[in-house]
Amino acid sequence: MSVSIQLRKGFADPPTVRVPQRPGTSREWLSAAILIAPFCLLLSAFTVYPAIRALFDSFKDVSALDPTNSTWVGFGQYAAALGDPSFRRSVLNSFGLMIVTVPIQSFIALVLANTLNAQIRARGFFRAVYFLPYITAPVAVGGVMLFLFGPFGSLTTFLHSILGTPKTAWYASEGLAFWLVAAVMIWTEIGFFTVIYLAGLQSISTDVYEAAALDGAGPWTMLWKVTLPLVRPTTALVILMGVIVSLQTFEQPYVLSTTGGALPGSPNDATLTVVMYLYAQAFRYQNLGLASAAAFLIVIVIVAFTALMALVQLRSAK
């Protein structure tokens, strides 16, 4: 009888072990909350609240001069934006800049990054030189381009003698102003995308290139057969960021188009982008409802393109 009792006691449930709470855990959470509170407040005040307010304003007929006096119009502002010829022209210009600039700057950035990734002299100097246009103030870049592509600018004269382009101010020509904006965007963004590509290239093991060299691969063969497949995720990131930048372009075309007090997007809306249209509607014509509706239309386009890129990446990864 006593043996069975001992066996039952031996198979009894183990006692519950209580893990003591580490001292200072509550203080750490409190410290973390205090440190992150300023960021959350600033994010709410300058990003979350304005976005929510703009979403509601997009369904209203509201003026910036009297925002308290508004009329609910539903999707009327969206219909007005889609029916506005200036908005449609700004969308075409933004997509045109995207189609022209993204492939060119992505390819040039990849070639430059591949060159800078090699063991060349003064590599750090060239990295700084290529990155310098990106960190230069857009207003300063626009001022320099106005001088170079003016009626008597050095680049205007050079291109006139080589390609036969009109010897006139490019920013005042309806046929040349768009291409001037595209050239400025490519020149300023190449340095940033070169840095991104350079980070992707430095993550590739040198053993891969050594094996390709042993197989007799030359520089261009390594670029097309080795480098491009391995930096495909980086290329997707560069293309996505290039699309977003091109759809949000404002500073360069604004500086180039408003020379001499001209309207934004001059001449004849040739350089008008979506963000410039939003700026003009909100702060020149005080039409907050139409500007908010146009802003959310372009947000929908950006989100749709981002989702499409993510889907393509997932399918290619499989």
The residue extents of the domains of the chain are: 77-137+179-317
Query: Is the torsion defined by CA of 120, 132, 102, 55 positive or negative?
Result: positive
Using CB atoms within 10 Å of the CB of residue 258, give its burial: 0 to 12 exposed, 13 to 18 middle, 19+ buried: middle
Distance, in Å, from the CA atom of 291 to the CA atom of 113, rounded to the nearest integer, reads 39
Per-residue pLDDT at 5: 46
Per-residue pLDDT at 82: 92
**Residues 189-201: tens digit of each pLDDT:** 999 999 999 888 8
Per-residue pLDDT at 16: 58
**What's the CATH code, domain 77-137+179-317?**
1.10.3720.10
**Residues 140-153: tens digit of each pLDDT:** 888 888 889 988 88
The helix (run of H) or strand (run of E) holding residue 302 is helix 288-317
Task: Quote the radius of gyration of the chain (alpha carbons, Å).
Answer: 29
Per-residue pLDDT at 103: 93
Per-residue pLDDT at 14: 54
Query: What is the number of helices (H) and of strands (E) in the chain?
Result: 16, 2
pTM over 0.85: no
289 C-beta neighbours (distance < 10 Å), count: 28
User: One-letter amino acid identity for 11?
Assistant: F
List all residues 6 or more positions away from 145 whose beta carbon is below 8 Å from its beta carbon. Answer: 171, 180, 184, 252, 256
Distances (CA, A) of 239 to 82, 90, 189, 277, 315: 27, 21, 12, 24, 17
For residue 249, which phi and psi values (nearest 5 degrees)?
Answer: -65, 135
E-state strands within the chain: 60-63, 66-72
Per-residue pLDDT at 3: 46
Mean pLDDT split into 10-residue runs, the chain, 318 residues: 46 54 70 91 93 92 84 91 92 93 92 82 79 87 88 88 87 89 92 90 83 81 83 89 89 84 82 91 89 92 86 76
Per-residue pLDDT at 37: 93
